[in-house]
Structure 1
Amino acid sequence: MVHVRREDILFILPSEPIAATINNIFSLIDERFLVHEANLEDAVSLAQSYIDQGQAMVVVSNGGTAALLKQRLKTHVLELRYTSVDMLRAVRRAFDLADKVAVMGFEPFTYNAKALKDFFERPVLVETITDLADLTEKLQHLMARGIKAFVGGSPVVNAARMLGAYGVHIDMDPRVIQDAIEEGKRIVSLQKEKDLRLGTINALLNSINDGIIGIDASGCISEINRIGLELLGLQRQDVVGRDIRQVLGVPWESCIQAVENEQTAEVCLIGGNSLAVTSVPIRVNGHSSGAVLTLQEVRRILSLERRVRKRVRDSGHIAKSTFADVVGRSEPLEKAKKKAFTYAQSDSTVLIYGKTGTGKELFAQSIHNASARADSPFVAVNCAALPENLLESELFGYVRGAFTGASESGKMGLFEMAHGGSIFLDEISEMPLPLQCRLLRVLQEKEVSRVGDDKVTPVDVRIIAATNRNLAEEVQNGRFREDLYYRLAVLILELPPLVERLGDIGLLARVILHRKSKEQHKPMPRLDPRAMALLESISWPGNVRQLANVLERAMVIATNGVLSEEVMADSLRSCHPYGQFCPGSAPISIAHSEDSTASLDAVEERALRAVLRQCGGNRKESALRLGIGRATLWRKMKKFGLI
């Protein structure tokens, strides 16, 4: 709350009784402000002296003195006005003293008296004065006409009494003074709050490494920060109030366009320095009232961009793949690519459905690289690969001492690392329910809180989630939050399995073989047409990932640089836990009935147990033998109760 000091409000009164009333009110409200008796020019000089000392934020007066103070002072002036009842009471007291009464004073005072003439019991003469130097002469003139009692302020009353006439002060209603005190305090508080905001804004502007210039509706500079002056090589007094085009030294109409509601950006050569100048209009109640210009050194922008790009590359949080890396020309794949590219132009959350090995992360990276966030981080995390407590600290970070083993300096979470970019949450269906609640908050509030901390950090992150499960069914089974599902399922992308795009296998095989050959430093093998026909007859439950593993095994088995039908069949027989393939037999297909699904699960579990037993429980080696990722192995072990 803003504190109002004694010297913030100054009462300057031309009437002694009003000053006495004010002091009495001060004693009642237990507050006290400055009070002086002065008239006209003396009042102006007195008030200005206080203002020059940084005091008297509000001046309170009445009558002609108040009117003069309003004209001459550049501060708030409150005028105390007599009520009609005050005037009537004073005139009545004057008639108790004499038969003929006059009301004298400056214009504001006598204006009210003239309006009340019809309410006086007897005729009253109202005389307006403009200069105290003529006061005595006017009093004598009226006394010669038989006026014996005069109603007015202290100058009139004192002069009348010195001439032998009656002088009657008009008393002011204490409520008028109390209202003025409260209004004065309110004005002081508002002004101090305004000064505080302006001080804060100026401090912020001067702490920014860019030049900031404010221009009014006519294109003249109203404000400029320290960096702006340095970039222009000018002093403040040489800038404020001047036309922006004159200061920039170029016939630049973009500034005026900004005032007219158009955001603009230009590069100007000012004083031999290349500056990027951005203009943004200032809107007040829907109308343009000026613009804000930002000046940045082009070389600093380029340097900063290079540092940011290097930092992102060094962190490893970059998306390497684009839509050009999505191999295939089949209709289902082309439809998926077209839809994904459309999604990339938006900033909404994307939910990717696809079976294992269909390229969910490939599409996620491509969407990121085709979006406006392409130059920002791309952070990928597999929600099924980490236990709940570790996944929480990885996603949201933690503060020092948050848990046993926590880093002394704390750790930034993946959401904070992805600020300005995208975060890919793979296997989102495996995220534990407590973490789903925290993820929902990130989506709703755009902020994160580290583990062990009560502070929140705003984040600007686009979420791309992926799953191989039906999330709607997971919601019905109570394994996934319904509110989170609806937050994620804004833009839905379904990736076709390889069995629906068998025509792409030839192109995929060539690309995979080329890559594997480079990795193994071997010549690229030739793929026999019958071996290709064999590949195109498989239902590929492991999709492209399984195809890549089969081709890699075939390259190892082949001895003459040719992937024949026999070599391919041998490689396919190793496709555990999906069963064996024998040349001439029917293709292996994914089971569709509940019984066959159960049988497939049983086969898969037996195969998993056998490989783990053969590898002595070594998960890395087991995953390699099975041709699956470690995260997938961990999820399958969890599914069958092996961990």
Structure 2
Amino acid sequence: MTTKNLPNLALITPYPHLGDIVIMQCAGIFNCHVYHGSLEKAISIARNLDSDYYDVILSRGGTAEYIENATVIPVVRIHTSMSDLLKSLIPLKNHSHKIAFFNYQKYLPDVVLAATALNIVIDEFVFDSQFDMTEKLKLCRANHYETVTGGCPVAETAKQYAMQGILIENGVESVTSALREALAIVETTRRKMLDMTRLEIILSSITEGIIVTNENNDIQIFNKAAETIFGLTGLQVLGKQIDSIIKNTRINQVLLSKSPEIRELQELDNTSIITSRVPMFMGRECIGVVCSFTDTPQIQKVERIIRGKLKKKGFDARYTFDHILSADSEMQAIKKLAQVYARTDSPVMIYGESGTGKELFAQSIHNHSNRRHGPFVAINCAAIPENLLESELFGYEGGSFTGARREGKEGLIELAHQGTLFLDEIGEMPLPIQSRLLRVLQEYEIMHIGGKDVIPVDVRIIGATNRALASMAEDGTFRSDLFYRLNVLPLTVPPLRERAGDFRYLATKFLCETAAEHLLEQFLDLFCSYRWPGNVREMRFIIERLALLSVGFPQYSLREMLTLTGFRFPDAVSLHPNNEPVRVDLSKGQLKNVIKDVERQVIVFYLERYEQNQDKVAMQLGISKMSLWRKLKVDEVTTRESAFG
């Protein structure tokens, strides 16, 4: 009767009684099937057993050794124990003649002890084949042995030479010991098969081609992706020399050198593939090589996916040199210099006051370089606290500090791989982090906080600052070695007040963009002596403000509009030609209404810009959504009161 889920065992026994013992001991452990035969007949039986059905074969003595080389099914031998020998020889206790004991291939320990216990003389003979057994039995007969003990073939053959043959039978203890060994082999084999199945599934799911060779360069593993890349099946290549199947793999060289080769280009027919070859070690011995292959289409596909994800994260540069507006000859020369810088991978250091367009230059350099298809990652070093800046730049392993994500996090340097890292306000970077950044520029590798692995990175660094880094390097507030590493290609963006050709040009452009070109002459007169501490950014914001106010308050001059909003000129331009301060003659009630009108105009302007999205308008104005709602309700009430007058 066969029990489901139990392993299947085949017993090949030379005598029937052993089958009875094994069946009894197998209950609940194995499904046991008994076959009768020894030596040559046992080999024939073993060869005909279904290796997909039977998990293990059990036999005894020389028969087990004979069939081991005739089948792929694991074979377990029932060993003859001291107890088995004593039980079989008890009838010969005090026997006066010498007894010959035959055992297959090795001597049985404590035979002398058994002879002493039974008061008999036992001479032990070891044989390694049926012919050897027969020859030694003939010798025993010639030497007048009358009794021979051993396995079934020995006992049967001894009778042919007129000697008494006594069969050494295996008892319950020997059978139980063999079954324990058989069960351990079955469990180990099943675990290995389970691991191999998992490995095959994993290798099949990997999009990279994987080839594993042994110490002789024979192919041991050839996954599905490798079959696709090379146009070969596993059945065609497994067990064969790698060099006879695929050319230019360099696997043999890696096996000999024991040195890995990572991300190397390999030519294959009419295409190129990226391959990594890593030697495998057991102790100090190299036992083979693992190779991974990625073909060009797969690389391009992954790159497109990564590019898409990085773009969603905002790691892309939107501006080019065409966005840097200037009619000034010096600025035109600086743009050309930046275009030259873009052709290299060396660090760029951009100097300039706030609002001059340093990030525009950084993005333009990236988009003009051969890294334009990679990510552009920007970080403001002054906007992030020191304790967070390091983890943002270098990333961290999960659980490396309180509050860290369980799964860890990639750093911005890592995310900028094969692209550009823009470090704005780099002069504010703390000294300890400067030391780590210096290593990036020296070795182009990083290590996560709490991590142990070194991660190579291919990144170009562009820094920007409104501070004098050279002076900071001299007085020790900025690392001098880092300064020289960053300052390879310096670029200074002049302030707006020093760009003679840009004041009228930019004012005209910005006023046209806001449909307020009619204000140009007033604007030029009003700001002709202004020094623009906020530079181009300030000019754009002021013009946007004036364009908005001029719609709601056409009766006021530009100066009066700016005064209403609290704008103050820091120099003499804030005075009338007669050197008297600007005054707006309004009563308290009038001023209150003017302020309300200004608020209403601003809110209406931004509601139109953001398509009535109140959340965005509130965020832009720096007020809560509730405050925005109250101001809108006040306007509605005021309008109704005016209507019913």
TM > 0.5: yes
Task: Give the letter for the 2:20 counterpart.
Answer: A
- Once the 2 structures are TM-superposed, how far is the Cα of residue 26 of structure 1 from its aligned partner? 2.0
Q: Who is 1:392 aligned against?
A: none
State the identity %.
Answer: 18
Sort the Cα spacing of 1:607 and 1:79 in 2 relative to 1 into closer, same or farther, 3 A: farther
Task: Indicate which of 80, 87, 101 corresponds to 1:104.
Answer: 101
Match of 1:26 in 2: 26
The 3 A distance-change label for structure 1 pair 124 and 203 is same
Counterpart Cα distance in 1 of 2:507 and 2:93: 120
Q: Which amino acid aligns with 2:251?
A: C
**How many angstroms does 1:112 deviate by?**
3.5
Q: Which of 582, 591, 600 is the aligned partner of 1:614?
A: 600
Deviations 1:45-87 (A, max 9, x none): 2222224x42333333332223233344444333332334443
Does the residue aligned with 1:281 lie in a helix, a strand or coil?
strand
**What's the offset of the Cα at 1:246?**
3.6
Q: Where does residue 255 of structure 1 map in the other structure?
A: 251
Amino acid in structure 1 at the alignment position of 2:541: N
Paired residue for 1:445?
407
Q: Determine the C-alpha separation between the residues in 2 that align with 1:422 and 1:58.
A: 65
- Cα distance in 2 between the residues matched to 1:440 and 1:638: 34
1:30-429 alignment, distance < 5 Å: 31-51=30-50, 53-87=51-85, 89-90=86-87, 93-96=90-93, 98-100=95-97, 102-108=99-105, 110-112=107-109, 121-132=119-130, 142=140, 147-158=145-156, 165=164, 167-172=166-171, 174=173, 176-206=174-204, 211-226=209-224, 228-229=226-227, 231-234=229-232, 238-249=236-247, 252=248, 254-259=250-255, 260=258, 261-270=260-269, 273-285=270-282, 288-298=286-296, 300-301=297-298, 304=301, 308=305, 317-320=314-317, 375=373
2:540 corresponds in structure 1 to 548
* CA displacement, residues 256-292 of structure 1 (integer Å, 9 cap, x when unaligned): 344332225224242xx32414132142346543334
Q: Which amino acid aligns with 1:11?
A: L
Q: Gaps (5+ residues) in structure 1?
A: 330-343, 346-355, 379-420, 430-436, 449-459, 471-485, 488-492, 559-565, 588-605
How many angstroms does 1:36 deviate by?
Answer: 3.0
C-alpha change, 1:363 and 1:518, in structure 2 (3 Å) is same
- Deviation, 1:133, is 6.5
- Structure 1, 523-532 or 16-25: larger mean CA deviation: 523-532
- SS of the aligned residue for 2:58 comes to strand
| AA partner of residue 534 (structure 1) | Y
SS in 2 for 1:189: helix
CA distance in 2, matches of 1:213, 1:222: 8
Distance 1:276 1:125 in 2: 70
Matched letter for residue 75 of structure 2: V
Q: Deviations over 1:389-419 (max 9, x none)?
A: xxxxxxxxxxxxxxxxxxxxxxxxxxxxxxx
Per-residue deviation, residues 168-198 of structure 1 (Å, max 9, x unmatched): 5343452x43343333333323323333443
CA separation of 1:503 and 1:68: change in aligned 2, threshold 3 A: same
Amino acid at match of 1:36: Y
- Contact 1:513-1:525 within 8 A present in 2 as well: yes
TM-score normalised by length of structure 2: 0.56
1:186 aligned partner, one-letter code: A
In the alignment, which residue of structure 2 is the partner of 1:573? 563
What amino acid does structure 1 have at the position aligned with 2:600? Answer: Q
Q: Measured at CA, do residues 127 and 365 of structure 1 come closer, stay the same or move farther in structure 2, by a change above 3 Å?
A: same
Q: Secondary structure at the match of 1:106?
A: strand
* Contact kept? 1:279, 1:291, Cα under 8 Å: no
Counterpart amino acid of 1:24? M
Q: Structure 1 residues 73, 316: closer, same or farther in 2, change over 3 A?
A: closer
SS at match of 1:443: coil
Go from structure 1 to structure 2 and tell me whether the alpha carbon gap of 1:496 and 1:316 turns closer, same or farther (over 3 Å shift).
Answer: closer
The residue type paired with residue 46 of structure 1 is: I
Q: Is the 8 A contact 2:61 2:77 kept in 1?
A: yes
Give the aligned residue type for 2:407.
E
Task: Tell me the distance in 2 between the aligned counterparts of 1:100 and 1:619.
Answer: 124
User: Residue 109 of structure 2 aligns to a residue in which SS?
Assistant: helix
CA displacement, residues 287-341 of structure 1 (integer Å, 9 cap, x when unaligned)? 543334445553x2476368548856996955115899999x9xxxxxxxxxxxx
CA distance change for structure 1 residues 118 and 179 in 2, over 3 Å: closer, same or farther?
Answer: closer
Aligned residues: 497
| Counterpart Cα distance in 1 of 2:13 and 2:280 | 43
For 1:111 and 1:203, locate their aligned partners in 2 and report how far apart those are by CA, in whole Å.
47
Shift of 1:224: 2.7
The one-letter amino acid of 1:445's match is: E
Q: Distance in 1 between matches of 2:252 and 2:512?
A: 59
Structure 2: how far apart are the matches of 1:182 and 1:518?
92
Give the CA deviation at 1:549. Answer: 0.4
Aligned equivalents of 1:30, 1:524: Cα separation in 2: 98
State the Cα distance separating 1:32 from its structure 2 match: 3.2
User: What's 2:393 paired with?
Assistant: none
SS in 1 for 2:288: strand
Question: 1:228: how far off?
Answer: 3.8
Question: What is the SS of the residue equivalent to 2:406?
Answer: helix
Please give the alpha-carbon distance, in whole angstroms, between the structure 2 residues aligned to 1:426 and 1:310.
28
1:442 to 1:84, Cα distance in 2 relative to 1, 3 A: same
**Which of the two has higher C-alpha Rg?**
2
Question: RMSD of aligned C-alpha atoms?
Answer: 6.4
Q: Is the 8 A contact 1:623 1:629 kept in 2?
A: no
Deviations 1:471-526 (CA, angstroms, capped at 9, x unpaired): xxxxxxxxxxxxxxx99xxxxx9997899999745479879759747856979989
2:42 partner SS: helix
Q: Give yes or no for the alignment of 1:637 onto 2:624.
A: yes
Query: 2:12–2:36: 8 Å Cα contact kept in structure 1?
Result: yes
